[in-house]
Amino acid sequence: MNYRKFGNTGAMISALGFGCMRFPEYEKDGKWYINDDEAIPMLLKAYEDGVNYFDTAPYYCHHNSEITVGKALKEIRDKVMVSTKIPVDKCKEAGDYRRFLEKSLKKLDMEYIDFYHFWGLSKEEYDKSVLGLNLLEEARKAKEEGLIKHISFSFHDKAEYIKYIIDTAESRGVPMETMLVQYNLLDRSNEEMIQYAASKGLGVVAMGPVGGGRLAAPTDLYAKLTGKPSISTYELAFKFVLGNPYLSCALSGMGTMDMVEKNVVIGSSKEGLTQEEWAQLGESAENLKKFSELYCTGCAYCQPCPAGIDIPKIFNLYTYHNVYGLTDYAKNEMKNYKNNDGKTIEHCKDCGLCEDRCPQSLKIRDELKRVEDILIKQ
Ligand code: SF4
Ligand code: SF4
């Protein structure tokens, strides 16, 4: 495994981080469970192969992810770094910080959290809750008491607000120490701010290195972009993220042992992209912008839709068509989806909930119509 300096935290972090939101699950009597017999060996295998950063959150895997992470890592607690998050939007008063923190500590069954994130910040939420309820002060106290080691944030808003968050927290004497942001070959909107964060001593972790699965498509993007013999698009997507010197770690949501093994190989590879290759790719990727006209990250915040429409799935299929030219595949998958009673735009109740929740501010209803026209009607 490759390791990198994690900002000014003093930690060396593995280039591959384990995103703990895709564990295998099953439902029984209307309740969801993680299959620990599969998930725990995956976590331990990743650790044995050098992964030392595990990122979970209270709501991942139907609220069960923290429990499984805690069980898996208990015996090796001091050898790994655990990250989890506070749902800032649910905080109504300053004391909620401690309440959520204690809940996470209990579920993890741990005495401390290494990186405690203000979760999915927008500027509005940051102003209203983090500053408005003085949660930074709560974070400072929790750190002093040793309940958390570092103060962190994850982010879903316009890139320019990253600077605002870093600067205001610093000016209040409670600097942010690490940041978790979306970054990949198709979405470089945070790139400048990643550099800014690094210049302020923050460690930076990238989420979505394979672009919500889009860059995992089995096509030869590298050859398409560079005209050179290929490496897999999946590997390329990771290498692109890790080729950014201001980033420390690429987080991957891993749900199978195969995926762990595949990702560990990439995180351990000594053959990164050269600076020229990285720059060339970046330049070529600019040409992909046109493919990003519908930029759905697959985050699923728009779910559940009251009409049962699987919006991220449908948008992902559109990307197969639009970005990779896999039109037959996309159309076929769309047909399967519908044949299996998958709901689409004709079932939409026009409630607008999805659009209120979408961090990318997509005009989801219009886009669904457009996708349907292309993948079903044409
Ligand atoms: S507007 Fe339509 S697609 Fe969006 S949440 Fe409501 S029913 Fe679902
Ligand atoms: S439509 Fe928006 S909220 Fe839904 S998965 Fe895509 S980016 Fe996320």
Per-residue confidence (pLDDT) for residue 369, from 0 to 100: 94
The verdict on 273 and 299 lying in the same domain is no
Ligand 1 binding pocket mutation candidate from 301, 313, 348, 361 (most atoms within 8 A of CB):
348
Inform me whether the pLDDT recorded for 348 exceeds 70. yes
Q: How far apart are CA 52 and CA 375, in angstroms?
A: 42
The verdict on 75 and 182 lying in the same domain is yes
The verdict on 150 and 260 lying in the same domain is yes
Q: pLDDT-based confidence at 276, cuts 50/70/90?
A: confident
Inform me whether the pLDDT recorded for 217 exceeds 60. no
Task: Indicate the length of the chain as a whole number.
Answer: 378
Return the ∠ at Cα 208 (arms to 205 and 210), rounded to 5°: 125
Task: Give me the percent of the chain exceeding a pLDDT of 90.
Answer: 70
Q: What is the mean pLDDT of residues 226-235?
A: 65
Digit-coded pLDDT (tens) for 135-182: 999 999 999 999 999 999 999 888 889 999 999 999 999 999 999 999
Inform me whether the pLDDT recorded for 77 exceeds 90. yes
- In short, whether 354's Cβ falls inside 6 Å of ligand 1 is yes
Per-residue confidence (pLDDT) for residue 376, from 0 to 100: 87
Inform me whether the pLDDT recorded for 200 exceeds 70. yes
Overall domain count for the chain: 2
The verdict on 105 and 162 lying in the same domain is yes
The verdict on 59 and 208 lying in the same domain is yes
Q: Where among 290, 325, 355 does a domain terminate?
A: 290
Q: Where among 264, 290, 316 does a domain terminate?
A: 290
The verdict on 298 and 249 lying in the same domain is no
Single pTM value for the model: 0.77
The verdict on 259 and 309 lying in the same domain is no
Report CA(55)–ligand 2 centroid distance (Å). Answer: 21
Among protein residues, the one with the nearest Cα to ligand 1's atom 2 is 348
Per-residue confidence (pLDDT) for residue 50, from 0 to 100: 97
Q: Which one-letter DSSP state was computed for residue 76?
A: G
Per-residue confidence (pLDDT) for residue 351, from 0 to 100: 96
**Residues spanned by the domain of 41:** 3-290
Closest listed residue to residue 233, CA positions, set 319, 315, 316, 324? 324
Indicate which CATH number applies to the domain containing 199. Answer: 3.20.20.100
Inform me whether the pLDDT recorded for 197 exceeds 80. yes
Closest listed residue to residue 116, CA positions, set 90, 147, 145? 147
Per-residue confidence (pLDDT) for residue 234, from 0 to 100: 76
Digit-coded pLDDT (tens) for 9-38: 999 999 999 999 999 999 999 999 999 999
The verdict on 241 and 309 lying in the same domain is no
Q: Which one-letter DSSP state was computed for residue 116?
A: E
Inform me whether the pLDDT recorded for 63 exceeds 90. yes
Let me know if 294 is exposed, middle or buried by CB neighbors in 10 A (0-12, 13-18, 19+).
middle
State the pairing for strand pair 53-55/16-19. parallel
Q: What is the mean pLDDT of residues 243-250?
A: 94
CB-hemisphere CA count at 13 Å for 108?
29
When comparing pLDDT for 298 and 130, which is higher? 130
Report CA(58)–ligand 1 centroid distance (Å). Answer: 25
CB-hemisphere CA count at 13 Å for 304?
4
Alpha-helical regions (H) of 35-126:
36-48, 60-63, 65-73, 95-108, 123-125
Q: Which residues line ligand 2 (CB under 6 A)?
A: 296-302, 311-312, 315, 357-358, 360, 362, 364
293: three-class secondary structure by DSSP: helix
End-to-end alpha carbon distance in the chain: 47
The verdict on 224 and 371 lying in the same domain is no
Could you identify the residue written with the tokens 């493919």?
A: 291
Q: What is the mean pLDDT of residues 235-264?
A: 91
Confirm if 320 and 330 have CB atoms less than 8 A apart.
yes
The verdict on 248 and 363 lying in the same domain is no
Q: What is the mean pLDDT of residues 108-122?
A: 96
Inform me whether the pLDDT recorded for 357 exceeds 80. yes
Q: Where among 261, 290, 319 does a domain terminate?
A: 290
Closest listed residue to residue 204, CA positions, set 239, 240, 164, 249? 249
User: CB-based contacts of 268: which residues, under 8 Å, 6+ apart?
Assistant: 1, 2, 15, 49, 50
Tokens at 374, concatenated = 């292309």
The verdict on 217 and 363 lying in the same domain is no
The verdict on 79 and 196 lying in the same domain is yes
Q: Which one-letter DSSP state was computed for residue 38?
A: H
Q: How far apart are CA 208 and CA 231, in angstroms?
A: 19
